[in-house]
Amino acid sequence: MSVSGPSPQSSPKRYGPTTPLLTPHASRWRKPHAFWLIPVLFLMAISLGMNTGPKLEIQTQLICHSLAGSSPEFEHEIHPGGFLTVNNSDWVNRCRRDPRVSSRLAILSTTISLVLGILSALTTAFWCARSERHGRRPVFGWAFGGFVANDLAFLFIIHLMRAGLVTDYRLLVIPAIIEGLTGGPATVQALFNSYIHDCSSPGRSQTTSFSQFLGVMMAGVALGPTISAKLVPLRDDILLPFYVILVLLTLVLIFSLLVIPESLSNCRRAEFVARYEQERNALADTYTPTNGSRLHLIRLRIFQHRKMYLNFLKPLAILLPVRKIETGQWDWNLFLIAIAYGTYGSSVGAYGVRLQYAVFRFEWGPVETGYFLTTLGLCRVLALLLILPLLIRLWKRPDLACGLGSPSTSSAGSAAGSLSRKLTCRLKEPQPRSEPITVSIPALHASPDQHKIYQDAKFDLKFARYSIIWDALQVTLLIVSPSPTWFVAGSGLQSLSGSTSPAISALALGIVPGQLGGRVIASLSVVQTLTSNVFGPFVFGGVYSASVGRFSEAFLVVDLVLFVMALVVLSMVKIRSVDTDGNRAVADDDSSSSSSSEEEETEEVSVQTGI
């Protein structure tokens, strides 16, 4: 029987002998379930889609306004209160196509992305650990409260700039700092995954929940830009969508604090608290205090916090190459897959720069960018929920062959299986008693499940390679696109490669033992955070800022180079057999020693026959 967590008034901070392990009975509709997160995810996706286009336009006008004093071509006549509107078309269009404005816009966007990504990476471990001891719901509130504070701070700064009290557009970094300190997107994603895991039964697949959530998110991202594009012309005010976003995020905050049931019971949280205290005590025993120091307790707390929460690079150790015990050769597969995963994930940083490039080259405003983002969202929904599943189903047909360890053992396994079936049939018939005949049958070390692991790993590798090739072709189309139509077409067709990162992740999980799957997932999450939130925005933003106006497509060339590098690295991964323990697919060495050391074992089978 499933039970919900404690009520909002209860405090899980203290546990003792009288603490109930189970929470009071709750109504059935309040039972924790993953689908409680669907309204939250949908509203957040809508707010994200509404945010992108108008915020880019606001940043463009703020930068252009700051250059008006030093650049005569940016001088303009705007009536009081007309700043940050779309009615000054000539001045706004001149700002959009100016290389200096685009360069500073790229620097500002890169700075905001770096600040948010770094702070989110540094605080995610702390907030996730706190959610284990105090419950998921309070930490949900902190994270969503950070989103609300971000929007409030952004509106406050913009109103100060509109009133002429402040003029430095770099103050827009402050909202990113607030959101990063409260966890940011990385913490919300981790909390979503943890909540789904808490509500799932042991042994039950979570693929359906993740697929449905992905579809809901894509639908919200596609709907948000259209709402924003319709709102801006109503009052000729770019800030109008942000008031709607503030209302949506406030509803999300209230829903997460008052409606979503707690997924962790008191018993589970007590276990996490005990584990937390044990780890803190172990770190305190290893800490060497400074003699005569008056700040011993403060330094001890800093030491414990650094070891428990800031050592986020520790999970990457599992990705290093390992030496095989059987052959003494180094296994580079997981290391190469991690490099390909990070290289491909860096391309996420090009999406924001790509939108800035479209604004600069095609002079798009918030309405055009809204329709563009809606088109991309619809393409992703169709690709992820319809086209890609159909292609995978047609490509990956059920394998009717007998599942054996490797192709080299197929013939021996088939002969052994046929002989075994014949002997079994003979045993069913009444036979006169006679002496047993000993028959040597090759021992079968691989089961159909092992064969499926091998086939799935091969499929994931091929799928990832072909998807990266498709990405490279579409980026090439974007580089040479002569018109907005070709640009939109290339961006939409690139949605067909939206499952590349999941395919690479599945490949990594397929080549390691099952008990190491959690550590591999954690390490790949660190790689994704560092590459997509830090490295990618830094590289693409810097390249675009330095090349805009001269060769504005340079960042797309860098994106193409990263795709080629990821493809080359994946081509070095070799999946040729199944490990004998049935837990992972491994790469056979090309040396002849493997064939000589892996001879077929035989076992003696005694059967009664009528001969």
> How do residues 496-525 score in pLDDT, each as one tens digit?
888 888 888 888 888 887 667 667 877 887
Q: Which 3 state secondary structure label does DSSP give 310?
A: coil
Give the ranges where 346-499 is alpha helix by DSSP (H).
Answer: 350-362, 366-382, 388-395, 410-428, 448-479, 484-493
Nearest to 312 by CA among 485, 572, 120: 120
Query: Is residue 178 located within the same domain as residue 66?
Result: yes
Using CA atoms, how far apart are residues 398 and 391, in angstroms rounded to an integer?
Answer: 14
Query: Is residue 220 located within the same domain as residue 151?
Result: yes
Query: Is residue 277 located within the same domain as residue 332?
Result: no
Half-sphere exposure of 497 (CA within 13 A, CB side): 24
Q: What is the pLDDT of residues 598-609, one digit of tens each?
A: 333 333 333 333
590 torsion bin: left (phi>0), alpha (psi -120 to 50), beta (else) = alpha
Name residue, tokens 């054996």: 404
Q: Which 3 state secondary structure label does DSSP give 609?
A: coil
Residue 432 counted as domain residue: no
Nearest to 382 by CA among 370, 371, 374: 374
Q: Which 3 state secondary structure label does DSSP give 222?
A: helix
Using CA atoms, how far apart are residues 562 and 249, in angstroms rounded to an integer?
Answer: 36
Lowest mean pLDDT among 39-43, 97-101, 306-310: 306-310
Average the pLDDT over 543-550 and give the result: 92
Q: What share of the chain has pLDDT > 90, as a percent? A: 26
Amino acid identity at 80? P
Query: Is residue 373 located within the same domain as residue 257?
Result: no
Average the pLDDT over 270-295 and give the result: 73
Query: Is residue 91 located within the same domain as residue 150?
Result: yes
Query: Is residue 373 located within the same domain as residue 487?
Result: yes
CA angle at residue 150 from 197 to 184, to 5 degrees? Answer: 30
CATH of the domain at 355: 1.20.1250.20
Amino acid identity at 302? I
Residue 15 counted as domain residue: no
Res. 221: pLDDT tops 60: yes
Query: Is residue 204 located within the same domain as residue 336?
Result: no
Query: Is residue 248 located within the same domain as residue 378?
Result: no
Query: Is residue 322 located within the same domain as residue 260?
Result: no
Q: What share of the chain has pLDDT > 70, as a percent? A: 72
Using CA atoms, how far apart are residues 74 and 91, in angstroms rounded to an integer?
Answer: 7
**Which helix (H) or strand (E) covers residue 585, if one does?**
strand 585-586
CATH of the domain at 234: 1.20.1250
Query: Is residue 350 located within the same domain as residue 478?
Result: yes
Using CA atoms, how far apart are residues 611 and 596, in angstroms rounded to an integer?
Answer: 37
pLDDT band at 538 (very low <50, low <70, confident <90, very high): very high
The whole-number pLDDT of residue 535 equals 92
Using CA atoms, how far apart are residues 175 and 260, in angstroms rounded to an integer?
Answer: 27
Q: How far apart are the first and last CA of the chain?
A: 59
Average the pLDDT over 33-54 and give the result: 89
Q: What is the pLDDT of residues 428-470, one digit of tens each?
A: 444 444 444 444 444 444 455 667 777 888 888 999 999 999 9
Residue 24 counted as domain residue: no
Res. 477: pLDDT tops 80: yes
Domain count, the chain: 2
Q: What is the pLDDT of residues 94-151, one digit of tens each?
A: 888 888 889 999 999 999 999 998 898 888 888 888 888 888 899 999 999 999 999 9
Structural domain span for residue 97: 30-281
Residue 424 counted as domain residue: no
Query: Is residue 334 located within the same domain as residue 201?
Result: no
Strands 437-442 and 577-578, by their bridges, are unpaired
Residue 438 counted as domain residue: no
Residue 433 counted as domain residue: no
Using CA atoms, how far apart are residues 463 and 459, in angstroms rounded to an integer?
Answer: 6
User: What's the DSSP call for residue 387?
Assistant: I
Residue 606 counted as domain residue: no
Residues 6 or more apart whose CB falls under 8 angstroms from that of 290 comprise 296, 299
Are 365 and 92 within 8 A, CB to CB? Answer: yes
Average the pLDDT over 2-6 and give the result: 40
Are 35 and 206 within 8 A, CB to CB? Answer: no
Lowest mean pLDDT among 303-307, 529-533, 574-578: 574-578
Lowest mean pLDDT among 166-170, 234-238, 565-569, 571-575: 234-238
Residue 20 counted as domain residue: no
How many CB atoms sit inside 10 A of residue 373's CB?
24
Query: For residue 322, what are the β-bridge partners?
Result: 331
CA angle at residue 607 from 606 to 608, to 5 degrees? Answer: 135
Query: Is residue 105 located within the same domain as residue 215?
Result: yes
